[in-house]
């Protein structure tokens, strides 16, 4: 019974999924370009920070981005398949060893920095 239910859910969610998948992982520093409606005008607002969590699947998949603004930590959660996300740019790839980076909430200053992840041999040849 559960296998049939998941097959039906995938079929129902398929039209709502993003055509091109957003390619990023935990620990990456990203710029999220979000469409904001102000009256009848639409503009793009950029939220940049470190991806600290990713959860869910299908249309319910979410990711959380954290940044420091004025010495205060700000986190925003975005649905991956939302039409409000215009673009997602990966600024740098962070090297992490866990799926959730909630430990960054307690850290301040330079201790919040993640070391850069080095790509394999094929990435250096492509450049």
In a domain, 127, yes or no: no
Query: Which DSSP helix (H) or strand (E) runs through 49?
Result: strand 41-55
Q: Is residue 27 part of a domain?
A: yes
pLDDT at 24 over 90: yes
Question: Between the CA of residue 23 and those of 28, 53, 57, 97, what are the distances in Å?
Answer: 10, 14, 15, 18
The reported pLDDT for the residue numbered 39 is 92
Q: Is the pLDDT of residue 64 over 60?
A: yes
The answer to whether position 94 is within a domain reads: yes
Kindly tell me if the per-residue pLDDT of 82 is higher than 60: yes
Q: Is 113 inside a domain boundary?
A: no
CB 104 within 8 A of CB 29: no
Phi, psi of 50 (to 5 degrees): -100, 135
Tell me if 48 is assigned to some domain: yes
Q: Is the pLDDT of residue 126 over 80?
A: no
Put simply, whether the predicted model's pTM sits higher than 0.85 gets the answer no
Q: Is residue 77 part of a domain?
A: yes
Q: Is residue 84 part of a domain?
A: yes
* The pLDDT value given to residue 121: 57
Q: Check which CATH number belongs to the domain holding 22 and give it.
A: 2.30.30.790
For the chain, the domain total comes to 1
Range of the domain at 83: 16-101
pLDDT at position 108, please?
86
Is 45 inside any structural domain? yes
- Rounded Cα–Cα distance for residues 48 and 56 (Å): 22
């Amino acid at each position: 019974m559960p296998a049939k239910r998941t097959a039906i859910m995938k079929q129902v969610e398929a039209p709502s999924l993003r055509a091109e998948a957003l390619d990023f992982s935990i620990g990456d520093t990203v710029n999220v370009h979000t469409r904001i409606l102000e009256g009848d005008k639409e503009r793009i607002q950029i939220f940049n920070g470190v991806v600290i969590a990713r959860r869910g699947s299908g249309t319910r998949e979410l990711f959380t981005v954290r940044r420091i603004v004025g010495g205060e930590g700000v986190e925003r959660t975005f649905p991956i398949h939302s039409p409000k996300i215009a673009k997602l740019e990966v600024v740098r790839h962070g090297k992490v060893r866990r799926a959730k980076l909630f430990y960054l909430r307690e850290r301040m200053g330079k201790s919040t920095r993640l070391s850069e992840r080095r790509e394999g041999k094929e990435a250096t040849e492509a450049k």
